[in-house]
Amino acid sequence: MSNLNPELITIGSCTLDVIIEIDDILRFELFDKDIIKKYTAIEYSRKLNVKSVRFVPGGSGSNIAANCSMLGLNACYIGILGNDFSATICLDDLRKRGVDLTQVVQTDEDSTALSVILKTPWGKDRSILAYKGANNLLKPSDVKPELFGEVKAFAWTSLTSDAGCQAIEKAIKLTKDHGGKIFAAPSMSIIKNATNWAKTLISQSDVVSLNMEEAQEFTGKKKKTLMIKDFIDMGVKLISITDGPNGSIISDGDTIINSSIYTGDVNDTTGAGDAFLSGILISILNNFSLEKTSKLATAMSFLECKEIGVREGLPNSLQELENFVDTNTLNQVISKVV
């Protein structure tokens, strides 16, 4: 699909996820005062049997473009992929979901990004081995100014190279020049590996969504209200922090909404954060209330978690998403910032 004037532009990873389900693996915990660290381990020099292997397209930048395209936005993904079978799988899926791929460059310099996701018997959280690959070859010249004429939103996710971050910064400026809003889903990779860039790009963003571990790492705080204050003080207009089965918290600096999660089976949490941001993005562009925004974002995340693989189980329209929210109960606690 070709969109000369996309409403949404995204930059970030486009990845082939290899989901490996395995039972024959070790788990242990280390205790250090009040901190518990959990580890997945493979016994040295041992061959393990795998229950199943799935190849599914993923990557946070392309996930958000795909999610929002399915909800009715004209979405364009900007990125670099290799010339390999991984790229074919990823691009075919994005094309099927209506994403504009005219700004995707394929190269022989590196392979398409790859993530190995380990699904173990212990709960729904998973360990991921991530290779950024061609994603980090993106540079500012790959961001074309003429693409931003009618942009309403730009969403960025984690790249860690200087050139990649410069490309994100260029896209932020072009979006703001045309009156669009900036949405950020920074992952642990940019927070830990390109800290200064994380601070710079987050401070230039209108909406930031990340999980509890990422928020703690970035702010150095443990209390949610203090984390929120740090982001609002940086200039962020809306901050959301997700916390797995504990639900989420979202705030515009005046109001805080604590939401639980919808009740139902959870099979795979991969891509849940991208789905959550997608729900926020579509809500803000439709001028929905903060309460409804939290419900739609939570619903997107929940529906994504019901199926194995990212982008699966998600609604095919905004109306379908709203129908789910209207017919399912979500507990919310709304309070004012004091």
Rounded distance between C-alpha atoms, residue 204 and residue 252, angstroms: 16
Instruction: With cut-offs at 50, 70 and 90, classify the pLDDT of residue 27.
Output: confident
**Residue in the block written with tokens 């995707």:** 104
Do residues 307 and 268 lie in contact, with contact meaning Cβ atoms separated by under 8 Å?
yes
Q: How confident is the model over 148-203, as pLDDT tens digits?
A: 999 999 999 989 999 999 999 999 999 999 999 999 999 999 999 999 999 999 99
Do residues 146 and 175 lie in contact, with contact meaning Cβ atoms separated by under 8 Å?
no
Instruction: With cut-offs at 50, 70 and 90, classify the pLDDT of residue 1.
Output: very low
Q: Domain limits of the chain?
A: 8-24+51-336
Rounded distance between C-alpha atoms, residue 190 and residue 198, angstroms: 6
- Whole-number average pLDDT of the chain: 92
Rounded distance between C-alpha atoms, residue 74 and residue 102, angstroms: 13
Number of residues written out for the chain? 338
3-state DSSP assignment of residue 328? coil
pLDDT value at 322 more than 50: yes
Do residues 191 and 231 lie in contact, with contact meaning Cβ atoms separated by under 8 Å?
no
Q: How far apart are the first and last CA of the chain?
A: 48
**pTM of structure:** 0.91
pLDDT recorded at residue 31 = 86
Q: How confident is the model over 220-279, as pLDDT tens digits?
A: 998 999 999 999 999 999 999 999 889 999 999 999 999 999 988 776 677 789 999 999
Q: How confident is the model over 290-300, as pLDDT tens digits?
A: 999 999 999 99
Domain formed by 8-24+51-336, architecture: 3-Layer(aba) Sandwich (3.40)
Rounded distance between C-alpha atoms, residue 291 and residue 244, angstroms: 19
